[in-house]
Amino acid sequence: MKILERIREDVANARLHDPAGRGDLEIAIVYSGLHAIWAYRIFHRMWQKPALRFFARLGAQITRWLTGIEIHPGATIGRRFFIDHGMGVVIGETTEIGDDVMLYHGVTLGGRSLSKGKRHPTIGNRVQVGCGAAILGPVVIGDDCAVGANAVVVQDAPPKSILIGIPAEVRSQSTGQDLNLVDPAEYIDPAIYI
């Protein structure tokens, strides 16, 4: 996809997700979430070349200072990704994000360990993550899930789930049935959230 086509797609997607957007020019100029995504794409390409990794990280850090959004250039992000408001969003290095995902401000897609390898979440397609939510560790969030504001997710969630609470309870969107796969008492220790 050509650069201008991708920019038009991003602006149209922002307009779709934010009823406050009054026009394409305004969205392109003042939406820090879009600026962070556009910068991420440049630095992600640089990250693919080991000789440029330092410059990719430096560029990502400068983008963080300018937008308040930290996206590691090693993360993998799909199309039509939108960050609403954006301040305080953190996306870790091994995070994988599908298409048509929307994050609100203060979301953390982070790790729970210091091990090398996959330590950040995998987010499916068409997932919405509410403000202040944290999805921690190499968990998999299925397609069409919704993560509530301030939820702390530390377990996998099947497609079409709703995740709410600390630690997050996993419920079916259609039936409301509890889908928790682990005993939440395992995750009460606050040290794992650091």
The identity of residue 126, as a single letter, is R
pLDDT at 183: 52
pLDDT of residue 51: 97
pLDDT score of 180: 64
Q: Residue 113: its pLDDT value, please?
A: 84
| Strand pairing report for 70-71 and 90-91 | parallel
Contact at 8 Å (CB) between 92 and 66?
A: no
Burial class (CB in 10 A: 0-12, 13-18, 19+), 191: exposed
Q: Which residue has the tokens 């709703």?
A: 162
Query: What is residue 30's predicted lDDT score, i.e. its pLDDT?
Result: 93
Hey, where are the domains in the chain? Answer: 3-182
Q: Domain 3-182 belongs to what architecture?
A: 3 Solenoid (2.160)
DSSP code of residue 73: T
Stronger pLDDT, 27 or 190, i.e. the higher one: 27
Q: By the 8 A CB rule, do 71 and 108 touch?
A: no
| CA 136 – CA 118 distance, rounded (Å) | 12
Read off the pLDDT of residues 81-134 as tens digits, 9 standing for 90 and up.
Answer: 999 988 999 999 999 999 999 999 999 999 998 888 999 999 999 999 999 999
> Which pLDDT value is given to residue 193?
44
Per-residue pLDDT, 2? 86
pLDDT of residue 3: 85
